[in-house]
Every structure is written in C-alpha cells, then in structure tokens.
C-alpha cells in the first residue's frame, strides 16, 4: 500500500510539472513578457533561434522564475533545467551550455539541477550531454536535499541510471527516509536498476525503513529480484 501511494504521489507531481512545462508563459499582471520570460518559453519549446535572440538582447540566461515573477513557476527552474526536463531538442541544451550556463546551476529550490530533471524524465541523451560537460550525478545529496537523480529518474529509467552510475553516482545513496536506493529499486520493482546498482557495488544487505532489499523483495513477491539478490550474497 505504501509503495503504491508513493508512486501515485510521484506521478501526480509529474503531471503537475508537465502542465507547467506546456503552459504558455505570461508577464506580470498581463504585462509584456520580459526578455527572461521569453527566453524561458523559447527553451521550453526548443526554439534555438529565439534563445539566441533573447540572449543577444541581454536576457539573463540563468534567470530563475519563482512565485514573485511567474506565479505558475513555484520551483524557479532555469532555461537549462526546463530544456533538460523537456528533452525535445538536445541542441537547445548544447546552445545554453555553449553560451556559458553553469551545468550544475540550481533552481530556486536549491537542489534541482538540469541533470536531475533530465534523469527524472529518462532523457538519456540529454543526461549524457550534461555529464560530459561536468554535471555532478551526486549533487542532490551533496547539497543536503532528500532527492537525487537516481530517485527522480523513476522506474522507467534503468538505462539512465546505468549512465549515472558509470559517471560516478553513488550506488549506496540513501533517500530522505533512510532507505538505500537499492531498497527503493526493489520497491518499485525495476529489475534493470537493481542489477545496475549491484554491479556498481550497492550493499546488498543494507537496511532501510526496517527492510533489507531481500526482505522487501520477498514481501512483494518479486521472485526474479529475490534470485538476483541471493546470487549477489543477500542473506536472510
């Protein structure tokens, strides 16, 4: 029950972000959109030429939109973070980085980064571009926040998780409630992520919220994962 409730919360959050992602931008109180707001919209729709125009006009390429400037944007994402999340045009991400955007810049919430946003959506191509430019796959945890890119990637993203792990993401990461990410992978039932974490040295017997990965796999009757965990030395 807790697993289903957790996944439902994730999906509701995703739906809310997608509504924002496709919503048209507006200026303050119906005013003409600022250069920064126009830049944000260009990044969201993947319009490279419009991005270049707004930057050439002097738009702040790392501006963050929050409650005070754009009511529909409470998290204050930057153009790079939106472009990474949308993932519709990897060239947009490249253009923004070429224009000098910090690959590890954060939203107003102080923990969301472009690589986190791209990983959450499983935008593997964009994740690779960001990592090649120096994005930190462990940044979320390093800055004391409860989420990190492997958690936000969700259960559809085993390929992205493997890429993050190959780039140095910590396979023994713990979530905000103390669960090892391996236990989380078992909880969502993603065999690919379980294998990827174990291949990169995840502690097969680590416990979180009272369960080891093996105990949880048995409880959830995930026999394939049970067999994998036992093959990697999980003990009862």
**Per-residue model confidence (pLDDT) at position 20:** 47
Q: Which residues of the chain have pLDDT under 50?
A: 7-29, 67-74, 144, 146-147
**Per-residue model confidence (pLDDT) at position 226:** 97
**Per-residue model confidence (pLDDT) at position 215:** 97
Parse the chain into domains and list their residue ranges. Answer: 2-157, 171-236
Are domains 2-157 and 171-236 of this chain identical in fold? yes
**Per-residue model confidence (pLDDT) at position 69:** 45
**Per-residue model confidence (pLDDT) at position 73:** 46
209 CB-near residues (< 8 Å, 6+ apart):
177, 178, 179, 183
**Per-residue model confidence (pLDDT) at position 142:** 62
pLDDT in tens, 86-136: 877 799 999 999 999 999 999 887 788 899 888 888 888 999 999 999 999
Rg (CA), the chain: 19
221 CB-near residues (< 8 Å, 6+ apart):
none
Task: Report how far apart, in Å, the C-alpha atoms of 55 and of each of 21, 35, 90, 220, 236 are.
Answer: 21, 8, 18, 52, 59
Dist CA 83 CA 40 (whole Å): 9
Dist CA 1 CA 202 (whole Å): 26
35 within 8 A of 54, measured Cβ to Cβ: yes
Tell me the whole-structure pTM to 2 decimals. 0.77
The CATH homologous superfamily to which domain 171-236 belongs is Ankyrin repeat-containing domain (1.25.40.20)
**Per-residue model confidence (pLDDT) at position 29:** 46
**Per-residue model confidence (pLDDT) at position 133:** 96
**Per-residue model confidence (pLDDT) at position 159:** 86
> CATH number for the 2-157 domain, one of 3.50.50.60, 3.40.1280.10, 3.40.50.300, 1.25.40.20?
1.25.40.20
Dist CA 122 CA 45 (whole Å): 18
């Amino acid at each position: 029950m807790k697993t289903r409730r957790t996944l439902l919360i994730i999906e509701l959050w995703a739906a809310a972000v997608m509504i924002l992602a496709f919503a048209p931008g507006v200026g303050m109180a119906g005013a003409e959109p600022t250069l920064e707001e126009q830049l944000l919209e260009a990044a969201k729709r993947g319009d490279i030429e419009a991005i270049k125009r707004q930057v050439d006009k002097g738009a702040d390429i790392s501006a963050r939109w929050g409650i005070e400037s754009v009511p529909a944007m409470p998290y204050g994402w930057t153009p790079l973070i939106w472009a990474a999340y949308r993932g519709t045009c990897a060239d947009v991400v490249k253009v923004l980085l070429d224009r000098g955007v910090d690959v590890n810049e954060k939203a107003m919430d102080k923990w969301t980064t472009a690589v986190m946003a791209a990983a959450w959506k499983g935008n593997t191509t964009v994740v690779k571009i960001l990592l090649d430019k120096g994005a930190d796959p462990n940044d979320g945890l390093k800055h004391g926040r409860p989420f990190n890119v492997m958690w936000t990637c969700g259960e559809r993203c085993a390929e992205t998780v493997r890429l993050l792990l190959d780039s140095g993401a910590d396979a023994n990461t713990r979530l905000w409630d103390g669960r090892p990410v391996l236990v989380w992978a078992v909880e969502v039932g993603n065999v690919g992520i379980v294998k990827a974490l174990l291949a990169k040295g995840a502690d097969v017997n680590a416990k979180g919220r009272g369960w080891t990965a093996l105990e949880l796999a048995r409880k959830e009757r995930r026999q394939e994962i049970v067999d994998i965990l036992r093959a990697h030395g999980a003990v009862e």
